[in-house]
């Protein structure tokens, strides 16, 4: 392989990873903003599946399509975004970065399950199977399985710890402005304890907006720096 060919595929790698770093929190912010129960941070709230289905029914067709599109995109880009953030800080904060990547992976891979359930909500509305679906998608139905509860727990704990730890790692590594790493770390309590403690869904959207603002400089560094430059910056 020639040096030119190697340079091209490395640029493609960096471009793709940088794209995922920036667009993952933006996609999640859009998902929670478009969610039919957007005022509830637990949207869609499976504690009352019938209310969630009713909220889906009231959504406009265009909003529904955008919401489902975000549901599909998220599980593809979110795991890579955590990996990309961690790799930026790996040389200066290897253990914090490694644990942050692992937590982010555990918190983002389960989104595939969540994405699938959104289509079931939409199908229940389309087919008029509100009661049957509500029984299936309840704490006595789907979430009665301990495996599913483990998946849900991985999402809740993983995505929060992932951003918190990777923000700290980036702060220590100084590969991006420190205000950006602080925003990534601050996103975790905003989208978790504060959003659920106040029961305000907009706070969760704000948390992902903070993660997005902090991730943009990380994406720029990932895309713009060659591997050699990045290594010298971390040395």
Using pLDDT thresholds of 50, 70 and 90, give the confidence band for residue 232.
very low
**Mean of all residue pLDDT scores within the chain:** 86
Among residues 12, 135, 121, the alpha carbon closest in space to that of 68 is found at 121
**pLDDT value at position 233?**
42
Query: What secondary structure does DSSP assign to 39-96, as a single string?
Result: TSTTSS-TTSHHHHHHHHHHS-HHHHHHHHHHHHHHHHHHHHHHHHHHHHHTTTSHHH
> Comparing 27 with 41, which gets the higher pLDDT?
27
Instruction: For residues 64-77, give the mean pLDDT.
Output: 94
Given a cut of 80, is residue 206 above it in pLDDT?
Answer: yes
Cβ pair 187, 25 in contact under 8 A: yes
Using pLDDT thresholds of 50, 70 and 90, give the confidence band for residue 226.
low
Given a cut of 50, is residue 235 above it in pLDDT?
Answer: no
Torsion of CA 98, 92, 224, 226, to 10 degrees: -100
Instruction: For residues 30-52, give the mean pLDDT.
Output: 84
Two structure tokens written together for 160? 């929060």
Q: What residue has token string 């975790």?
A: 188
Given a cut of 60, is residue 1 above it in pLDDT?
Answer: no
Instruction: For residues 110-124, give the mean pLDDT.
Output: 83
Using pLDDT thresholds of 50, 70 and 90, give the confidence band for residue 67.
very high
123-176 residue pLDDT tens: 888 777 667 666 666 555 666 677 777 777 888 889 999 999 999 999 999 999
Domain ranges of the chain: 3-234
Residues 6+ apart with CB under 8 A from 91: 173, 231, 234, 235
Given a cut of 90, is residue 211 above it in pLDDT?
Answer: yes
Residues 6+ apart with CB under 8 A from 30: 66, 70
> Comparing 54 with 217, which gets the higher pLDDT?
217
44-55 residue pLDDT tens: 877 777 788 888
pTM assigned to the model: 0.87
3-19 residue pLDDT tens: 655 578 888 899 999 99
- CA dist 181 and 176 (Å) reads 7
17-26 residue pLDDT tens: 999 999 999 9
- CA dist 1 and 4 (Å) reads 8
Using pLDDT thresholds of 50, 70 and 90, give the confidence band for residue 111.
confident
In the chain, the percentage of residues whose pLDDT exceeds 70 is: 86
- Of the ranges 69-73, 218-222, 227-231, which one carries the lowest mean pLDDT score? 227-231
């Amino acid at each position: 392989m020639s040096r030119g060919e190697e340079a091209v595929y490395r640029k493609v790698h960096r471009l793709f990873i940088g794209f995922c770093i920036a667009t993952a929190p933006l996609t999640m912010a859009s998902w929670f903003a478009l969610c039919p129960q957007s005022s509830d941070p637990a949207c869609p709230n499976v504690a009352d599946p019938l209310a969630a289905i009713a909220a889906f029914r009231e959504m406009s067709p265009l909003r529904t399509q955008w919401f489902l599109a975000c549901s599909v995109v998220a599980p593809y880009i979110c795991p890579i975004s955590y990996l990309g953030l961690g790799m930026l800080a790996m040389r200066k904060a290897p253990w914090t970065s490694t644990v942050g990547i692992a937590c982010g992976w555990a918190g983002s891979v389960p989104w595939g399950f969540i994405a699938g359930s959104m289509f079931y909500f939409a199908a229940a509305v389309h087919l008029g199977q509100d009661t049957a679906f509500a029984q299936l998608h309840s704490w006595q139905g789907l979430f009665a399985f301990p495996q599913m509860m483990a998946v849900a727990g991985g999402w809740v704990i993983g995505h929060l710890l992932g951003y918190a730890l990777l923000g700290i790692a980036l702060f220590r590594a100084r590969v991006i402005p420190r205000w950006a790493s602080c925003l990534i770390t601050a996103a975790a309590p905003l989208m978790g304890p504060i959003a659920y403690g106040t029961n305000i869904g907009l706070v969760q959207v704000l948390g992902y907006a903070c993660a997005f603002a902090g991730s943009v400089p990380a994406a720029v560094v990932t895309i713009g720096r060659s591997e050699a430059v990045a290594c010298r910056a971390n040395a």
